[in-house]
Amino acid sequence: MVLKMSHNQKRILVTGGAGYIGSHACKALSAVGYTPITYDNLVYGHPWAVKWGPLEKGDILDRDRLDEVIAAYQPEAVMHFAAYAYVGESVENPGKYYRNNMAGALTLLEALRDHQIDKFIFSSTCATYGMPQKMPISEDHSQLPINPYGNSKLMVEQMLKDFHAAHGIRSISLRYFNAAGADSDGEIGEKHDPETHLIPLILDVAAGKRSQITIFGDDYDTPDGTCIRDYIHVTDIAEAHILALEKLKSMNGACAYNLGNGKGFSVNEVIETTRKVTKCSIPVQIGQRRAGDPARLVGDATLIRNELGWKPAFSDLISIVETAWNWHKNRLILEKNIIC
């Protein structure tokens, strides 16, 4: 079953539109006059996050279902967010990641080829770079992933070059650094199950839902000994997708841009900022290093700033944590969890 829809609305197929980053992209698409068609298997996505267009339940590995949805809506482009993204799990169960992230993307691309849809925006990751050789990381840095998650994303980037050469599918891959924060209107935000990301875990501690945050190592070669990451607001990521969509109308090729702030914050700095924003106590314990964590990961996003005019609106850590806290707190209140 697919919803009927007027054909004068501009439609974009958003795979993974019920997920954290995909739902923010749907909101941004709607704000500029598109109807996002969310295609999501709801394994990790949330029906409540689909607010700006129809939800079509389906799996990216299901070619028949993809054909049905694409034929019904005839989207002018695709934003592809649907993927598994637990780095540790990808090491334990690589088949799951190659099947969903790589074979799923391949199934989707073949469907687009057959339906003559030639614009594609791909959620890629800084994990495609592997261990950084120089900092900040620019797009021409070597891509040598150190886990199956990064490999699966890099394989899709490679497929996109070949699908452009053979079938004319134009694409932009956006390599996100650490996506964080939440919609500033508080309509959507980050909710993973299980949660492994630093900021939502610290917010759970602030709210009293978890007893403490474990810092994964304080003996790194950084000023305070804890790992440095480039946190980028999810709304700024969503805006970059809108700019990429515009760019695809006039561009020919398969290219990639980094999405980061070019600023790094340590785990300790994130915890301290969260204490200031929430005014709650955040007990900390020092744990072992987590395997595969580089000391420092900071992106150089000069290319997307210069070529697409992208400018992050929430580049400071305070606004990233404030928006995340606003959404997190309201959700926990609704779920009747403890606040401070």
Binding positions for ligand UFG, rule: CB under 6 A: 85, 87, 125-127, 149, 178, 196-198, 201, 213-216, 227, 229, 267, 290, 293, 297
Choice between 199 and 304, CB closer to ligand UFG = 199
Q: Residue written as tokens 């999501």?
A: 40
| Nearest position to ligand UFG, beta carbon | 227
| 46 in Cβ contact with 216 (< 8 Å) | no
Q: Tokens in use for 244? A: 């990429």
Choice between 203 and 267, CB closer to ligand UFG = 267
Choice between 117 and 317, CB closer to ligand UFG = 317
DSSP letter at 103? Answer: I
DSSP letter at 61? Answer: T
Tell the smallest beta-carbon distance from residue 145 to ligand UFG (Å).
9
Query: Is residue 214 helix, strand or coil?
Result: strand
Burial (CB < 10 A; 0-12, 13-18, 19+), residue 189, is buried
Tell the smallest beta-carbon distance from residue 200 to ligand UFG (Å).
8
Choice between 28 and 202, CB closer to ligand UFG = 202
Radius of gyration of the chain, Cα coordinates, nearest whole angstrom:
19
Pick the catalytic residue: 34, 149, 176, 257? 149
Query: Is 97 assigned a catalytic role?
Result: no
Choice between 50 and 213, CB closer to ligand UFG = 213
| 121 in Cβ contact with 80 (< 8 Å) | yes
Tell the smallest beta-carbon distance from residue 288 to ligand UFG (Å).
10
Tell the smallest beta-carbon distance from residue 229 to ligand UFG (Å).
5
Residues 6+ apart with CB under 8 A from 210: 201, 204
Residue 167: CB atoms within 10 A of its CB come to 14
Distance CA 157, CA 163 (A): 10
Distance CA 293, CA 296 (A): 8
Q: Which DSSP helix (H) or strand (E) runs through 35? A: strand 34-40
Tell the smallest beta-carbon distance from residue 284 to ligand UFG (Å).
9
Active site residue ranges: 149
